[in-house]
Amino acid sequence: MPSGNIDYPKPGETTRVDKTEILNTEATLHDGGVLVKVIALSIDPYLRSRMHDPNTPFESYLWYNMDAEQAAQLRVIKNDEKLPWSTYLGVLGMPGQTAYIGWKQYSQAKKGETVFVTSAAGAVGSFVVQLAKAQGLTVIASAGSDDKVEFVQDIGADVGLENGIDIYWDNVGSEMVDAALQAMNNFGRIICCGAIASYNTPNRYGIKNMHQVVEKRLTFNGFIMNDLAKDYLPDFYKTYPRMVASGKIKHREQLYYGFDGAEQALADIQKGENIAKPVVMILDEEGSKASLPNGGTTGITSRDGTLSANES
Ligand SMILES: NC(=O)c1ccc[n+]([C@@H]2O[C@H](COP(=O)([O-])OP(=O)(O)OC[C@H]3O[C@@H](n4cnc5c(N)ncnc54)[C@H](OP(=O)(O)O)[C@@H]3O)[C@@H](O)[C@H]2O)c1
């Protein structure tokens, strides 16, 4: 975690749930538009970048009235496997797709190589770990708590670095990049996926080991998954819902209930206090207000790949 000038979201102070705007669901739709009912919301690290202007709210309405252009970007998910919808925000949603796309496009992975993955218990990192293991790589991983390390080992990460790193999957940026540069093998590939260590502080870390890029003939690739999604998503949707449903791809989710839970989830993911992929549950599958099995509305539930809900 960074020290010094840190600016994490503070529930009730720097974030606020605004319930003043009521959308009239009886009102006429935009021409060619659709009215979307929100069941679950994804909380992701990048949302921090949208929190600089206090006058710009997130678009998180219980109902959302879209115009034709926005509606054209919607995708119908069949969910033949009958997975919980929250799954399509994490392992089968944007984060899982990010792992798949970045790995396929940039890793040039070969059996027997070694990859280092940071924030490896997160939605992106844990998918990368499993893709790499499936291809016969040694996986070295870092995560911020004993519980996260246990999960990362459970999905196949190895212990101990013997022969240097061939691929570095960077989810955090800053000092970790310097450490990885030091440990890279010649002709290694660095995949820059995220830089969460700098999302909450204006004090940006300056990389010191850039000379290693030349000496070791390394390749850096940064990417934004949206740019490549259309080429990869058909295969992704064909392959991974089945693998998640059968437990071949493991994942964990942390469910926060109701809009008030969103504030806590936004703070937790930035501080590393989330246990797993945070999802805010608004409605249940029948369209009623989502709640914990004990009837509560603001608790946290974690799931592993077995999809059994445990209250905490
Ligand atoms: N390029 C793209 O298109 C794209 C798309 C999606 C996501 N991303 C990026 O991919 C990365 C992973 O995303 P995710 O959704 O799976 O979230 P995630 O890894 O679960 O992100 C939250 C985790 O980051 C770690 N973290 C927080 N502050 C940190 C710090 N100062 N230093 C080191 N680690 C810190 C914490 O894990 P630990 O407790 O283990 O430290 C925290 O639980 C993020 O950087 C995200 O911005 C990029």
**DSSP-assigned states of every residue in 242-265:** HHHHTTSS---EEEEEHHHHHHHH
194 CB within 6 A, ligand 1? yes
Please count the residues of the chain.
312
Residue 193: inside a domain: yes
Is 177 in contact with 167 (CB distance < 8 Å)? Answer: no
Residue 130: inside a domain: yes
**Pairwise pLDDT comparison (76 vs 128), residue with the higher score:** 128
Residue 153 has pLDDT above 50, yes or no: yes
* pLDDT tens-digit map of 156-200: 999 888 889 999 999 999 999 999 999 999 999 999 999 999 999
> Residue 140: which CATH number?
3.40.50.720
3-state secondary structure of 27: coil
Q: In angstroms, what is the span from residue 270 Cα to ligand 1's centroid?
A: 8
Residue 3 has pLDDT above 60, yes or no: no
Domain extent at residue 101? 94-226
Mutate which of 98, 119, 128 for ligand 1 pocket (most atoms within 8 A of beta carbon): 119
DSSP assignment of 155-224 equals TT------S-EEEEEESS-THHHHHHHHHEEEEEEEEE---GGGTT-S-PPPP--THHHHHTT-EEEE--
173 CB within 6 A, ligand 1? no
**For ligand 1, atom 26: residue with the closest CA:** 272
Run of H or E residues at 121: none
Q: In angstroms, what is the span from residue 287 Cα to ligand 1's centroid?
A: 31
* pLDDT tens-digit map of 273-293: 998 999 999 888 777 888 887
Residue 263: inside a domain: no
Residue 105: inside a domain: yes
The pLDDT of residue 307: 46
Residue 179: inside a domain: yes
pTM of the shown model: 0.93
Give, rounded to a whole angstrom, the gap between the first and last alpha carbons of the chain. Answer: 25
Residue 54: inside a domain: no
What does the alpha-carbon distance between residue 148 and residue 146 come to, in Å, rounded to a whole number?
A: 5
128 CB within 6 A, ligand 1? no
Per the structure block, which two tokens stand in for 8? 């994490």
In the chain, the number of structural domains is 1
Q: In angstroms, what is the span from residue 286 Cα to ligand 1's centroid?
A: 32
Across the range 209-229, mean pLDDT stands at: 97
Q: In angstroms, what is the span from residue 171 Cα to ligand 1's centroid?
A: 5
What does the alpha-carbon distance between residue 33 and residue 69 come to, in Å, rounded to a whole number?
A: 8
Is 302 in contact with 253 (CB distance < 8 Å)? Answer: yes
Residue 275: inside a domain: no
What does the alpha-carbon distance between residue 170 and residue 125 come to, in Å, rounded to a whole number?
A: 9
Q: How many CA atoms are closer than 13 Å to the CA of 88, on its beta-carbon side?
A: 15
Residue 147: inside a domain: yes
Per the structure block, which two tokens stand in for 296? 């509560």
Q: In angstroms, what is the span from residue 194 Cα to ligand 1's centroid?
A: 7
Is 249 in contact with 243 (CB distance < 8 Å)? Answer: yes
Which atom of ligand 1 has the smallest separation from the CA of 276? 20
**For ligand 1, atom 5: residue with the closest CA:** 98
